């Protein structure tokens, strides 16, 4: 029995993800040239595999920070109640922040975090996401950098979990519905 047996289909392959990280990293390098010490802020835990690929392609002096925010709590629909479990270790006042996220679905998580960082005095706040699921939007939100737009399906892998599993799968796939209907 392998984790892969629970995946219905592969949506974004490992090779495609590598290409996305390179393309977005180069774009970010261009766009942030001349910006003093931008902060790449990862939202744990889902950001980790993609952010680690992406940051290698950003050829600039950036600082790396993390926040642990949650909204799912072991189900497949967002509760919309965004909790901060771990905050950043530095002040964002006057700083340029680029948030790295695995997926934008309802938009509630990023809407909350962008407003919070703006309220704390960040100079700019932008978002880079591996996946965008615009059909899931409840709050209008457009990330500046999007890896790939996906249909409204529940996906796992490459940082994305179901009940804390599947984050280590090296591609993004659609989970077999019988797994979460059990
Ligand atoms: P939003 O606040 O935009 O609804 O959701 C953002 C968070 O919800 C993501 O960081 C991710 O943790 C979770 N999420 C949204 N869609 C999916 C999905 O299809 N699969 C998984 N595993 N998590 C998702």
Residue 26 neighbours by CB distance under 10 Å:
13
Pocket-testing residue among 102, 133, 173, ligand 1, by greatest number of atoms within 8 A of Cβ = 102
- Between CA 23 and CA 124 the distance in angstroms is 22
- Find the range with the poorest average confidence among 3-12, 73-82, 153-162: 73-82
pLDDT tens, position by position, 42-101:
999 999 999 999 999 999 999 999 999 987 555 566 656 788 999 998 999 999 999 999
- Find the range with the poorest average confidence among 69-73, 107-111, 130-134, 144-148: 69-73
Pocket-testing residue among 44, 47, 78, ligand 1, by greatest number of atoms within 8 A of Cβ = 78
104 CA to centre of ligand 1 in angstroms: 6
Give the residue among 103, 102, 28, 27 at the shortest CA–CA distance from 62: 28
- Between CA 83 and CA 179 the distance in angstroms is 26
Phi and psi based region of residue 18 (left: phi greater than 0; alpha: psi -120 to 50; beta: remaining): alpha
23 CA to centre of ligand 1 in angstroms: 23
Candidates 53, 105, 132, 161; catalytic one: 105
pLDDT tens, position by position, 42-59:
999 999 999 999 999 999
Atom of ligand 1 lying closest to residue 43 CA: 10
Confidence of residue 1 (pLDDT cuts 50, 70, 90): confident
Strands of 7-12's sheet in order across: 7-12, 172-175, 155-156
Provide the pLDDT for residue 80.
62
163 has catalytic annotation? no
First to last CA, the chain: 17
Give the residue among 144, 99, 95, 138 at the shortest CA–CA distance from 120: 95
Ligand 1 neighbour 104 (Cβ under 6 A) = yes
Residue 147 neighbours by CB distance under 10 Å:
24
Angle, helices 14-31 vs 48-56, to 10°: value is 50
Average pLDDT over residues 5-10: 96
């Amino acid at each position: 029995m392998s984790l892969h047996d629970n995946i219905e289909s592969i949506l974004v392959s490992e090779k495609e993800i590598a290409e996305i990280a390179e393309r977005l990293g180069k774009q970010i390098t261009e766009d942030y040239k001349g910006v003093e010490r931008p902060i790449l802020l990862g939202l744990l835990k889902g950001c980790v595999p993609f952010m680690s690929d992406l940051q290698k392609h950003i050829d600039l002096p950036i600082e790396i920070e993390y926040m642990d925010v949650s909204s799912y709590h072991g189900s497949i629909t967002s509760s919309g109640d965004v909790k901060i479990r771990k905050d950043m270790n530095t002040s964002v006042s006057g700083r340029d922040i680029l948030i790295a996220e695995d997926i934008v679905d309802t938009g509630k998580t990023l809407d909350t975090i962008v407003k919070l960082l703006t309220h704390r005095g960040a100079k700019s706040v932008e978002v880079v996401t591996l996946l965008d699921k615009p059909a899931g939007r409840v709050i209008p939100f457009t990330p500046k950098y999007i890896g790939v737009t996906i249909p409204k399906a529940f996906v796992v892998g490459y940082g994305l979990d179901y009940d804390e599993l599947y984050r280590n799968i090296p591609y993004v796939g659609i989970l077999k519905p019988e797994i979460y209907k059990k």
